[in-house]
């Protein structure tokens, strides 16, 4: 029986190599439900969801990690975020340019990440509950998100890292390996041998294995001679953090003049959450209260 909607951390005894393995099913379906993109784009959307969960777990902090890329390609934007409680959500949007409208499922299913997004960069944002927000930027030059993330780890931590992401319409997940600085093994040749072996074995992992076997079974199959030890799993689920208060906050940020202009044009300001499609609507009463200070400020922050 396969593991679903969980991430496991693992280590290999007597080496400095650590790993993560995750599989998403319900989380993937629910996150994609409100995205009106061609089915052939669900796998790349899945890669972003898995990537956000992996990084959030690897970087271990309390707060939100997001992966985002916007460009002038046929896909104008993809983003996914995950927090330390295992809540995941994402958005994928097609470009409205006429030039891209004739593209079909066949194109989307074969396109590389740069072909989908155009010339752009991946922005990795680490937004801790306490402390400074941090952003890392990696140019999207590699064909896949997995390769971009390997590039990010090489650039930011100088640690050899391997990322495999797998995704189809219904499932997504991944396998992550990283060689940490010398602690248990100090002999360089031995360290290199461990890393080369782990890396080569991980590369044999297939999508079918990840989506049909339990994580324990799969790791045993891949790394049977390496004494792999799994830690307790962490549950992952689709959960949106939108709320009326957050929408009002966004309106406040737009400014009084702009918001009254919108109200004059539409009578009711309607905002549908792009992650979960929850509809929000605000009338004159709400807008007056927002800008006349009648709204409880504490609710807004
Ligand atoms: Zn929402």
- Per-residue pLDDT reduced to its tens digit, 145-201: 999 999 999 888 899 999 999 999 899 999 999 999 999 999 999 999 999 999 999
Task: Confirm whether 17 is domain-assigned.
Answer: yes
Centroid of ligand 1 to alpha carbon of 93 (angstroms): 16
Centroid of ligand 1 to alpha carbon of 242 (angstroms): 4
Task: Confirm whether 100 is domain-assigned.
Answer: yes
Q: CB under 8 Å to 141, separation ≥6 — which residues?
A: 114
226 and 266 share a domain? no
Centroid of ligand 1 to alpha carbon of 280 (angstroms): 10
**pLDDT for 104:** 83
Chunked into runs of 10 residues, the chain (301 residues) has average pLDDT values of 94 96 96 90 96 96 97 95 97 85 85 95 96 95 95 91 95 97 93 96 97 96 93 97 93 92 91 94 92 58 45
14 and 75 share a domain? yes
Centroid of ligand 1 to alpha carbon of 162 (angstroms): 33
119 and 158 share a domain? yes
**pLDDT for 115:** 95
Q: What is the 3-state secondary structure (H, E, C) of 40-98?
A: HHHHHHHHHHHHHHHHHHHHCCCEEEEEEEECCCCEEEEEEEEECCCEEEEEEEECCCH
35 and 183 share a domain? yes
- Give me the CATH number covering residue 250: 3.90.1280.10
**pLDDT for 295:** 46
204 and 229 share a domain? yes
Centroid of ligand 1 to alpha carbon of 34 (angstroms): 10
103 and 62 share a domain? yes
149 and 286 share a domain? no
Centroid of ligand 1 to alpha carbon of 161 (angstroms): 33
127 and 227 share a domain? yes
Centroid of ligand 1 to alpha carbon of 139 (angstroms): 29
Centroid of ligand 1 to alpha carbon of 188 (angstroms): 49
Q: What range does the domain containing 72 cover?
A: 6-238
The domain boundary, picked from 238, 253, 268, lies at 238
Task: Confirm whether 180 is domain-assigned.
Answer: yes
Centroid of ligand 1 to alpha carbon of 32 (angstroms): 13
275 and 165 share a domain? no
Query: Nearest to residue 220, comparing CAs of 242, 244, 201, 243?
Result: 201
Centroid of ligand 1 to alpha carbon of 159 (angstroms): 36
Task: Confirm whether 166 is domain-assigned.
Answer: yes
Task: Confirm whether 76 is domain-assigned.
Answer: yes
Whole-number Å distance between alpha carbons of 114 and 118 = 5
- Give me the CATH number covering residue 43: 3.55.30.10
The domain boundary, picked from 238, 259, 281, lies at 238
Task: Confirm whether 163 is domain-assigned.
Answer: yes
Centroid of ligand 1 to alpha carbon of 20 (angstroms): 28
Centroid of ligand 1 to alpha carbon of 36 (angstroms): 15
Centroid of ligand 1 to alpha carbon of 87 (angstroms): 12
Centroid of ligand 1 to alpha carbon of 203 (angstroms): 36
249 and 194 share a domain? no
Task: Confirm whether 43 is domain-assigned.
Answer: yes
Domain count for the chain: 2
288 and 182 share a domain? no
Question: What DSSP letter does each residue of 150-178 carry, written as one string?
Answer: HHHHHHHH---EEEEEEE-SS-EEEEEEE
- Are residues 280 and 271 in contact, defined by beta-carbon separation less than 8 angstroms? yes
What's the burial of 78, exposed, middle or buried (CB within 10 Å: 0-12/13-18/19+)? Answer: buried
The domain boundary, picked from 192, 209, 238, lies at 238
Task: Confirm whether 1 is domain-assigned.
Answer: no
Residues in the 5 Å CB sphere of ion ligand 1:
240, 242, 273, 275-276, 278
17 and 41 share a domain? yes
């Amino acid at each position: 029986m396969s593991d679903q909607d969980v991430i496991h951390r693992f280590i290999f005894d007597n080496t400095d190599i650590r790993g993560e393995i995750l599989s998403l099913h319900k989380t993937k379906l629910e996150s994609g439900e409100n995205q009106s993109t061609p089915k052939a784009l669900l796998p790349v959307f899945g890669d972003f969801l898995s990537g956000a969960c992996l990084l959030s777990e690897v970087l271990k902090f309390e707060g939100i990690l997001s992966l985002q890329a916007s460009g002038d390609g046929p896909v104008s934007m993809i983003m996914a975020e995950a927090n330390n409680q295992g809540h995941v959500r994402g958005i994928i949007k097609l470009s409205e340019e006429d030039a891209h409208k004739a593209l079909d499922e066949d194109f989307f299913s074969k396109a590389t990440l740069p072909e989908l997004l155009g010339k752009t960069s991946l922005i990795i944002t680490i937004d801790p509950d306490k402390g400074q927000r941090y952003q890392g930027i990696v140019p999207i030059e590699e064909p896949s998100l997995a390769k971009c993330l390997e590039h990010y780890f090489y650039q930011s931590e100088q640690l050899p890292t391997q990322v495999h992401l797998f995704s189809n319409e219904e499932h997504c997940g991944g396998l992550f390996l990283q060689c940490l600085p010398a602690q248990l093994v100090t002999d360089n040749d031995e360290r290199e041998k461990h890393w080369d072996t782990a890396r080569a074995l991980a590369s044999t992992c297939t999508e079918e294995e990840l989506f049909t076997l339990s994580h324990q079974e799969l790791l045993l199959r891949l790394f049977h001679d390496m004494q792999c030890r799994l830690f307790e799993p962490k549950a992952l689920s689709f959960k949106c953090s939108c709320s009326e208060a957050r929408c009002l906050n966004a309106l406040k940020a737009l400014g009084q003049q702009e918001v009254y202009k919108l109200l004059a044009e539409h009578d009711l300001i309607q905002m549908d959450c792009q992650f979960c499609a929850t509809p929000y609507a605000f009338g004159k009463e709400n807008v007056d209260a927002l800008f006349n200070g009648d709204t409880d400020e504490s609710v807004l922050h």
